[in-house]
Chains A and B, each alone.
Chain A
Amino acid sequence: MPLSGALKRLRIPKPGLLIAVILPMVMDAVLNDTGIHSSTTMTRLATGLVFGGVMPWCIVPLFIEASLQLIQKKKNPSPDTGVRMHV
């Protein structure tokens, strides 16, 4: 789980988990706009907390990985740098 590890371990959450944390927030907004369900402060807080709690563990490692790849490409221009984090 993303919340159980330190950021420097650079373990990127699986795509399924990313979709699972984005979906509740999107559903809350879409269902509210379509009038099917009314979004409350609590639902917005809960879905936003889940999304915001997981996203840094996706974005920060990927940003570090991408930056390292760009630095490596500058030093050694080849199509594949081989710099990859845990998946």
Chain B
Amino acid sequence: MFEKPSKLRPAVLGGLIIGTISGIPGLNLLNCCCCAGILLGGAMSVYLYRHEFTSEMPPMESSDALILGIIAGIIGALVTTFLSALIILILGPVETEMMRNFMEKLTQKLEDRGSVPQGTMDNMRDQFEQAMKDGGTIGGILRSLVYALILYPIFSMLGGLIGYGIFGRKKPETPPQPPMQL
């Protein structure tokens, strides 16, 4: 029997998908929907890995999807941080600026309606200015890398498992094992 295919290529491609979605300002708003971009990257890595299997190879298992999701998440975190740092260096803090404009409009509306206390917008503006200052520093980039290295593998792993549930499963050709009872 053949060995299973290498996980590196699909994991790198999944990581690049995560990095592109999460690193490009505007496109990364997709992650506001329950980290959809990261889930998608994890699921895509499983989909790509599934296509590398041939009939001679042992079937794909959920542990493969789990590991694949984690690797894709780690690569995605690195790519995102690199891309974000590059965009900050070239264009400045466009992402934070964009978010500030959006949040200011939203907070102004809420303040006018009386849904949030007066002065919320000033506090928010101060926080965004602080974030814009920190974003360009080495410390800020390293901090975002640490957060990304914790969060991205978790969500990418979940995406990988969802991807395995949709694309990866195939009924085994050998007689199935009795179900496990916990």
B161 at the interface (CB under 8 A from A): yes
Sorting the interface of chain B by its residue count into under 10, 10 to 19, 20 to 34 or 35 or more gives 20 to 34
* A15 & B177 in contact (Cβ 8 Å cutoff): no
Q: Answer whether A19 and B179 are a contact pair too, CB < 8 Å, given A66-B62, A73-B63.
A: no
CB-CB nearest 8 A-B residue pairs:
A69-B63, A80-B58, A66-B62, A66-B66, A79-B58, A66-B63, A8-B182, A62-B161
Determine the residue in chain B with the shortest Cβ distance to A73: B63
* CB atoms of B180 and A85 under 8 A apart: yes
* Residue A31, interface by CB 8 Å: no
Whether the pair A18, B62 counts as a contact (CB closer than 8 A) is no
- A4–chain B nearest beta-carbon distance, Å: 16
Taking CB atoms, residues of chain A closer than 8 Å to B181 are 8
Identify B62's interface contact among A29, A69, A82, CB under 8 A.
A69
Q: Which of A10, A29, A58, A81 contacts B33 (CB 8 A)?
A: A29
- Which residues of B are in contact with A by a Cβ distance under 8 Å? 1, 3-4, 33, 58-59, 61-63, 65-67, 158, 161-162, 164-167, 169, 171-172, 176-177, 179-182
* A59–B63 CB distance below 8 A: no
Q: Hey, which chain B residues are within 8 Å of A10, CB to CB?
A: 179-180, 182
